[in-house]
């Protein structure tokens, strides 16, 4: 009798886990993440535009110190552009995953990504477990 109760409880637990997983990535969550992705994309594009305008307003002449400062500002702008371009790529990829129906699933474990993580970082490709797995593999091969 204890055996059947244990099996029954295990089956109920498995069903609850499956239901919880299915409810995790709801249409409301996807819509919420899509809106956040689009807003973040617009903010990033505005930052790029503002940085370019600021750089263009700088004087072209000046002494050696002025020219050095302008070169440093240009280098900072290029670094900022690289970071923003990378983040824009991740946002575009996330929007593509929404359209294809693959949004919210970890690339490493193929399990649903945690709802809190998606709300915080909607462009993420990995669950916490998947990120830890990938990091441990990268660490292992980096010590070569």
Interval 98-116: pLDDT, tens: 999 999 999 999 999 999 9
When pLDDT is cut at 50, 70 and 90, the band that residue 16 belongs to is very low
DSSP for the chain, please give it: -HHHHHHHHHHHHHHHHHHHHHHHS-HHHHHHHHHHHHHHHHHHHHHHHHHHHHHHTS-S---HHHHHHHHHHHHHHHHHHHHHHHHHHHHHHHHHHHHHT-TTB-TTT-SBPPHHHHHH-TT--S-HHHHHHHHHHHHHHHT-
Can you give the residue range of the structural domain that contains 55? 26-101
Number of domains into which the chain is organized? 1
pLDDT score of 126 more than 70: yes
Residue 4 lies in a domain: no
Q: Which DSSP letter does residue 137 get?
A: H
Residue 144: which pLDDT band, with cuts at 50, 70 and 90?
low
Q: Is residue 128 part of a domain?
A: no
117 is a domain residue: no
Asked if residue 74 has pLDDT above 60, the reply is: yes
In a domain, 79, yes or no: yes
- Answer yes or no: is 65 within a domain: yes
* 74 found inside a domain: yes
Residue 44 belongs to a domain: yes
**37 within some domain:** yes
pLDDT of residue 134 exceeding 70, the answer is yes
List the helix and strand counts (H, then E) for the chain. Answer: 5, 0
Higher pLDDT, 9 or 128: 128
Rg of the chain in Å (alpha carbons): 23
């Amino acid at each position: 009798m204890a055996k059947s109760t244990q099996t029954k409880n295990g089956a109920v637990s498995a069903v609850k886990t499956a239901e919880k997983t299915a409810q995790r990535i709801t249409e409301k969550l996807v819509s919420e993440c899509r809106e956040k992705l689009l807003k973040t994309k617009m903010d990033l594009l505005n930052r790029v535009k503002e940085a370019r305008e600021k750089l263009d307003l700088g004087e072209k002449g000046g002494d050696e110190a002025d020219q050095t400062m302008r070169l440093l500002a240009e280098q900072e702008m290029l670094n900022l552009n690289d970071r923003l371009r990378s983040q824009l790529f991740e946002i575009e990829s996330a929007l593509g995953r929404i359209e294809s129906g693959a949004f919210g699933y970890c690339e490493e474990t193929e399990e649903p990504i945690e709802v809190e993580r998606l709300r915080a970082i909607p462009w993420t490709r990995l669950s916490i477990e998947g990120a830890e797995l990938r990091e441990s593999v990268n660490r292992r091969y980096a010590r070569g």
